[in-house]
Amino acid sequence: MTNPRNCLSGDVIEKRLRDLAGFTDIAGQLTRLTLSPSHKNAAEHLGKLFRAAGMTTHIDPLGSLVGRYAPEGCGPRTLLIGSHIDTVRDAGIYDGNLGVMVGLSVIEAMHKGGVVPPVAIELIAFSDEEGVRFPSTLSASKALAGRFDPRCLDDLDERGIRRRGSLIAFGAPAGDPALIGRDPATTLGYVEVHIEQGPVLEAASLPLGIVTAINGVTRGEVILRGVAGHAGTLPMAMRHDALTAAAEMVLSIEERGRADKDLVATVGVLEVPGGAINVVPGRARFTFDVRAPSDALRQRAVSDIRVRIERIARARNVEAAFEITHEAEATPCDPRLSGALERHTFALGLDTIRLPSGAGHDAMSFRGVLPVAMLFVRCRGGISHNPAEFASEEDIGLSARVLYDFVMGL
Ligand SMILES: [Zn+2]
């Protein structure tokens, strides 16, 4: 009988990630948009690996590959392990794909070692996380969480192809996606291993991190109206300069973002419509994006930012219209599952930290439905959504050992 832990080596996982990266829509880079021909081929390739590792497999009505490992003697409940195999354009090979490959190696280790886990496991290679091809995203994980939104089937890509048609081309079986929601009574939770996509673990010299929550986000824009004037004739004291007001507001938003640990606040767009070198700006527009692991913290920050903007506008004699355009609640990770991931990390002699996820993940779909937990793997330079994305074989191997011990400890 094989020692189960031999299947958990990072170099095997790394090699499989490189092989999987060969399934791409564009040769010479990794671009695997949801439900594309290369996505279909990748899912077929993975399906073979899943079956060789002892799983039964199927493609679900939204194009996810689902593997089930339920050897005789495992408990009546099911743990979901997953991540996504669609990618952005010109992606790295680790984003999403890593979590699927780590889950595969854990199940393979159990299968080859004749080890029966305490729960059945479903390993899911989600089809729709990146949101590059269609306007809506997470359709597949939302359906699994029992919150399928049929409007997503009418989504159009830039070539005018609907999601409905692309699912047929993909070979996804007909069937009502509203019926594939897993039963929370028999499903223990959802766990995802993912590269951090940020620089925190690397800066702390730690291979693995425990995610506290997936940040909620508030996005909006501020439109400023002052009075345009001649740059040469208008005295400084008599100006209603929309751009200098915006500049002060941008710095104030940054300051508010820095005031709370785990809060991030960004102005990503600043425009001066009709701006010219010899005109005092009469109009300005900027966006804001505020994220935090706690909804209360985020809402407090947004309301502070609004007060600051109004104060600055008054002091500078400009009008400010403040509008929130998008809001999403945070997904807190389950303390019990996260605590178990942490304990098994410590048990390997590793130090670790808890950190929020600034990026979105399939785990968000299970908010309020199932307990979720995420394990982050350090990535070089915090770089992601970029072919330079990199996680070391050693760190990947450690994540697989933690996930294995976590499942066996349930
Ligand atoms: Zn991802």
Q: What percentage of residues in the chain have a pLDDT greater than 90?
A: 97
Q: Which sequence spans correspond to the domains of the chain? A: 4-214+331-408, 216-328
Look at residue 1 and tell me whether its pLDDT is greater than 60: no
And the tokens for 88? Answer: 């952005």
Q: Give the model's confidence band at 73: pLDDT under 50 very low, under 70 low, under 90 confident, else very high.
A: very high
Rounded to the nearest whole angstrom, what is the distance from the C-alpha of residue 347 to the centroid of ligand 1? 27
Pairing, β 353-357 against β 208-214 = parallel
Nearest to 180 by CA among 127, 133, 134: 127
Q: Which residues surround ligand 1, an ion (CB under 5 A)?
A: 95-96
6: pLDDT strictly greater than 80 = no
How many A from CA of 361 to the centre of ligand 1? 6
The stretch 168-186 carries a mean pLDDT of 95
Distance 100 CA to ligand 1 centre (A): 11
Cα of 111 vs centre of ligand 1, distance in Å, is 27
> Tens digits of per-residue pLDDT, 104-136?
999 999 999 999 999 999 999 999 999 999 989
Q: In this structure, which topology does domain 4-214+331-408 adopt according to CATH?
A: Aminopeptidase (3.40.630)
Q: What is the pLDDT of residue 4?
A: 75
CA distance linking residue 213 with residue 357, whole number of Å: 6
What would the CATH number be for the domain defined by 216-328? 3.30.70.360
Give residue-wise pLDDT tens across range 314-370.
999 999 999 999 999 999 999 999 999 999 999 999 999 999 999 999 999 999 999
Ligand 1 center from residue 99 Cα (angstroms):
9
- Ligand 1 mean position to 193 CA, how many Å? 10
- Section 279-306 average pLDDT: 97
Residue 399: what are its φ and ψ, rounded to 5°?
A: -65, -35
pLDDT of residue 2: 58
pLDDT classification of 169: cutoffs 50, 70, 90 = very high
- CB 224 within 8 Å of CB 322: no
Q: What is the mean pLDDT of the chain?
A: 96
Overall residue count recorded for the chain in this entry: 410
Calculate how far, in angstroms, residue 364's C-alpha sits from the geometric centre of ligand 1: 12
How far does the centroid of ligand 1 lie from the alpha carbon of residue 232, in Å? 52
